[in-house]
Chains A and B, each alone.
Chain A
Amino acid sequence: MMQQPTRQQAREFLRMLPYDAWLYAALMMPPKLIQKRSVKTLDDLELLLRPASNAIASVDLPLMCDWIEEKVGDVALAAQIRQEALTINGYKQQCQKAHEVLLLRIGALKKAAGVLDA
């Protein structure tokens, strides 16, 4: 269970990051299509990791956790993904678990920040 963030922390974690803090990732769509993405917010990351039948996220998961910790600043979320997702077998499964953890966290952050999802 992650610690509840304060309103200020939540707003901070949900913010759009400056250019030099973006995470480079992609969606890979079989049989051969890459859709390169710049991940600028936790919302972007959620979209990237969202399970889809015709695509899979392409992101270096350990580096993604470092990014959440160092650039986004959400140490608890990074730790939770490392613990819950990176310890299981298989990249796809890790992505799915990371997405689950992230989705819950974003919900909690938005609640704490008083942000309504559109």
Chain B
Amino acid sequence: MGVRSMGYAGEILHVDLSALKAEKIPTDSYVQWGGGNGLGTKLFWDFCKDKTIKDGRDEKNVVVVATSPLCGTATPSAGGRCEIVGVGFGHYPISWFTRSNIGGRFSSMMKYSGFDALVISGKASRPVWIEVTNGHVRFHDASLLWGKKARDTQLTILTQLDDKNNGWGWQPLPGKKESVAYSTQKPAVMAIGPAGENQVAHAALVHDAGNTSAQGGFAAVFGAKNLKAVSFFGTGYIELADPMAHVEARFRLKERYAPDPENPDLFQWGMLGRAAPINFAGSVSKNSRLQACVGCIMGCRVRYDVGYGNETKCQATAWYAAPAAHYYKGDEKKIGELALKMADYCNDIGINTYAFSSSVRWLEGLYHRGLLGKGKQIHTDLDFSKLGSEEFGFAFLDALAYKKDIGELFADGFVQGAIKAGLEEDYKNGLLNHPYWGLAEHGYDSRAEVEWGYASILTDRDINSHDFNAIFWAATLATLNGVPYRIDAKEVAQIVADKLKPYVKGPECMDYSDGNIYSDDVMQLLRWYIHYNRFWKNSALYCDLRWADLFDTNAKDNVGATADSEVGEQVFWNAVTGEGIEFTQGLEKGHRIYLLQNAIWALQGRHRDMVHFADYIYEKEIVETELPFFMWPCRDENGIWSYSDIRHRKIDKEKFEDFKTRFYKAEGLDEQTGWLTKQTALKYGLDFVIEELQEYDKLAG
């Protein structure tokens, strides 16, 4: 074991599934990459011998499940997240090296068992699951688990690990003297369900009742590797550099920002102070309590007295409520019940609701256009006239997870399926609204909320990061409900600009009016957004539902916690690691991680000419009426700020290309190709990539 840096468990576990062998590597030489995304990217670089692969299910793919120093500590809304990286599955035209994230207690248990990350390479010759207990690794035959749903799999494993088999969860601790070494803590298991086994693009990894690593297609990658589950269990601890500073900062942050769960303020502006939960349960339950990942100051999920829907949240609970509302004619009890039961079932079969929820509407449209049905252009035995019913919901999910019926056609992704079925036009014209890399729109149109779209296309997937999007929610909900704007447009732009220093000059970066969305100011905002995400959110593992907290009306001055000298991200980082870094040094680390990822994408075949949205983003103005306003701070021709409706526009391709050129240049990437240059590689300490890039002729300059 190497030197144990503060906040780290000290070792990385590498499992070679082909040989069913495990090795331990000291974390120390990787500490410069922080954790999560950065750590995982560097480990991928070192362990993946062929980075030209274009499908994550390739045996040569390497998947890394990585924690951060903050995991397993009480860092607010950061202690319980976990990052997964590797070549994914389901993107179009190439499945990029990508990322995903999962909450709960998995990352904490991994660290308590002695590891900062798990590197998975090769492919098992038969189904296996991996047990890790306090540093000891065992490969188990998973033949009897194969075919089981994700929750049942977890339960079976927990029962198997329960040595006394009395339901109290006595976990034996190998390496200790028998008879004294037991713990009643519960191992943390991450498993795939049938969707992962069948290697479908929209499969999700599942941990506990409702934590999923959904985007990225890593459950399909697990399935391809014959890896059914991984279990971590440990009784270790994480050493903090300055525990007192950590505790004090947490109390200070809670005092300043945490919402009151008894009196949720639904029109609060901000992230940390935002009310919870974030789900749809209709009128199902009167008694419920919040549930949270390790360390969170405010859980976003719920446990209900009805016994179902536990820990489900967000889109998983919303996707079927709309068709159900139509089918059951507004029967609120039934709709709520079904919303939760469908969310539960998605978690059980291990499927990513974001990947298909917007496609449900498209499929319904195909049915009504006469293109989908028995003997139609797309044949299906599913009765789409019953969409919204309980029976249809389960049958539809089964088709997707078990690759049956239309599930077979869409197994590689909805865009891929549409093309196979001769419906490419629907992808181009946005009827199938998958704007970036063949992936579903998150709900925020890239033509309006440009930072979301730009960041998604200039990275590897739907960015799914609500840092600025919190403005849309606050301003749009206020407008809809006729409640006052708690912060005016000029003030919010100024608060955000202050947080984004030194990237931006001033508040103009927040001006999303038509004339400003290709400006250098917005380009700098985008750079901050990507760097922030790559380090603070994806590597340090601050939760997207609470951070970045740029503005926050729970604070007297409306200023959020991000980068704050007393409660900002770096304060907790430093209290744990003792590194003593500035907030902006984290952004620099994020930049470096992003550059390394660009090297991987180039090896996979990316060129700037491929970096473009689906055609409709350039060709069609937003015409859908589902949002009466998309409110955002804008300046008028006199420079006056207000919240304005930013629908009714399209992206100008030429201007976006010019924007890309300036972005690449600012990042240190080659303007012609988007590739890493030798100069940048040397400048950012990425000299280790030069030889491999040169070998494949992918190094610019």
Contact = CB atoms under 8 A, between A and B. Distances in A.
Interface in A18-73: 18-20, 22-38, 40, 43-44, 46-47, 50, 56, 58-61, 63-64
A85 to B, nearest CB: 13
A1 interface: no
A116 interface: no
Contact of B628 (A33, A35, A60): A60
Interface in B328-369: 329-330, 358, 361, 364-365, 368-369
A92 interface: yes
Nearest to B300: A31
A61 B627 CA distance: 10
B361 A90 contact: no
A36 B278 contact: no
B626 interface: yes
B476 interface: yes
B387 to A, nearest CB: 10
Interface string B314-331: 110110011001100110
**A30, A44, A118 pick with most chain B CB within 10 angstroms:** A30
A18 B368 contact: yes
Interface residues of A, number: 38
A92 B476 CA distance: 12
Contacts of A33: 278-280, 314-315, 317-318
B625 A59 contact: yes
A44 to B, nearest CB: 6
A98 to B, nearest CB: 12
Given A30-B266, A36-B322, A58-B480, A91 B628 contact: yes
A58 B280 contact: no
Contacts of B476: 28
B445 to A, nearest CB: 12
Given A18-B368, A31-B268, A26 B626 contact: yes
Given A28-B480, A35-B322, A91-B479, A19 B365 contact: yes
Tier of interface size on chain B: 35 or more
B481 interface: yes
Contacts of B274: 31-32
A31 B628 contact: no
A32 B473 CA distance: 6
Interface string B243-283: 00000000000000000000000111000001110111000
A31 B480 contact: no
Contacts of B266: 30-31
B639 interface: no
Interface string B500-520: 000000000000000000000
A47 B473 CA distance: 23
A31 to B, nearest CB: 5
Interface in B464-479: 466, 473, 476-477, 479
B480 A91 contact: yes
A44 B329 CA distance: 8
Nearest to A23: B625
Contacts of A27: 322
Contact of B368 (A19, A24, A64, A90): A19
B686 to A, nearest CB: 37
Contacts of A61: 628
A37 B325 contact: yes
**A31, A37, A46 pick with most chain B CB within 10 angstroms:** A31
6 contacts: A31-B268, A31-B274, A36-B361, A38-B364, A59-B625, A92-B480
Interface of B: 266-268, 274-276, 278-280, 314-315, 317-318, 321-322, 325-326, 329-330, 358, 361, 364-365, 368-369, 443, 466, 473, 476-477, 479-482, 624-628
Interface of A: 18-20, 22-38, 40, 43-44, 46-47, 50, 56, 58-61, 63-64, 90-93, 118
Given A35-B280, A58-B480, 11 more contacts: A18-B368, A29-B280, A31-B477, A33-B279, A34-B318, A35-B322, A47-B329, A56-B477, A56-B480, A61-B628, A91-B481
Ranked nearest first, the 7 interchain pairs of A and B with the lowest CB-CB distance are: A19-B368, A30-B266, A60-B625, A90-B482, A24-B626, A24-B624, A26-B626
